Amino acid sequence: MATTFQDLGLSPVALEAIAKKGFTEPTEIQVRTIPLLLESKQDVIAQAQTGTGKTATFGLVFTDKLTPGKSRSPQVIVLAPTRELAIQVAEELDTLKGDKDFSIVPIYGGQSWGVQLRHLQKGVDIVVGTPGRIMDHLDKGTLKLDAIEYFVLDEADEMLNMGFIDDVEKILSYVEGERQMLLFSATMPKRIADLAKKYMHDPVSIRTATDEIANNSVEQIFFEVSGRDKFDALCRIIDMEEEFYGIIFCRTKVDSDQVSRNLNRAGYRSEACHGDVSQDRRETILENFRQRHTQILVATDVAARGIDVKDLTHVVNYSLPQNSEVYVHRIGRTGRAGREGKAITLISPAEYRKLRMYGAHAKATINKQFIPDGSKMVELKKRKITRDVGEVLADSESLARFKTLAQEMFAEHEPEDVMAALLQLSHADTLDESKYTYIRGTREYRKGENGGSRPRERYRSRMEQTRLRMTIGYKDGANPGRILQMIENDYGVSGRSVGKIDIMDTHSFVSVPDSDAETILSAFDKNDKRSRSKLRIERAALGHSPEQFGLERVKRKKIHRKNRS
- Map out the domains of the chain with their CATH numbers: 5-207 (3.40.50.300), 218-372 (3.40.50.300), 375-435 (no CATH), 462-557 (3.30.70.330)
- The one-digit pLDDT tens for each residue of the chain (565 residues) are 446 888 898 989 899 888 887 777 888 888 889 999 999 999 999 987 666 778 889 999 998 999 999 988 999 999 998 887 888 889 889 989 888 899 999 999 878 899 999 999 999 999 999 999 999 999 999 999 989 999 999 988 878 877 888 899 999 989 877 899 999 987 788 889 899 999 998 899 998 764 444 445 788 999 988 887 889 889 999 988 888 999 999 988 889 999 999 999 888 999 999 878 887 788 889 889 988 999 999 998 876 765 667 788 999 999 988 777 778 778 877 876 567 889 999 998 778 888 888 887 777 888 888 888 777 778 787 887 887 788 778 877 778 888 888 888 888 888 888 888 888 887 777 777 777 776 765 544 334 333 333 433 333 333 357 889 999 988 888 888 888 888 877 787 777 778 888 888 888 999 888 778 878 887 787 766 555 567 889 888 654 444 444 333 334 444 444 443 3
DSSP letter string, 356-391: HHHHHHTT---EE-----HHHHHHHHHHHHHHHHHH
Orientation of helix 253-265 relative to helix 230-240, angle to 10°: 60
Q: CA–CA separation, 335 vs 287, rounded Å?
A: 21
Q: How many CB atoms within 10 Å of residue 260?
A: 23
d(C-alpha 84, C-alpha 310), whole Å: 15
In contact, 145 and 74? CB cutoff 8 Å: yes
Nearest Cα neighbor of 251 from 494, 50, 529, 491 is 491
Residue 116: its H or E element: helix 113-122
Q: How far apart are CA 122 and CA 28, in angstroms?
A: 38
Q: Which residue spans within 48-134 are E strands per DSSP?
A: 76-79, 104-107, 126-129
Name the residue among 190, 193, 215 with its Cα closest to residue 203: 193
- pTM of the complete model: 0.53
Strand partners for 315: 247, 343
Cα separation, 44 vs 270, in Å, equals 40
Contact 330, 317 (CB under 8 A): yes
- Nearest 5 degrees, angle CA 112-CA 139-CA 149? 90
For residues 183 and 177, give the distance between their C-alpha atoms in angstroms, rounded to a whole number: 18
Within 10 Å of residue 65's Cβ, how many Cβ atoms? 15
- SS3 assignment for 326-340: HHHHHHCCCCCCCCC
Q: How far apart are CA 244 and CA 343, in angstroms?
A: 12
Neighbours of 463 (CB within 10 A): 6
Q: What does the alpha-carbon distance between residue 484 and residue 467 come to, in Å, rounded to a whole number?
A: 15
d(CA 66, CA 68): 6
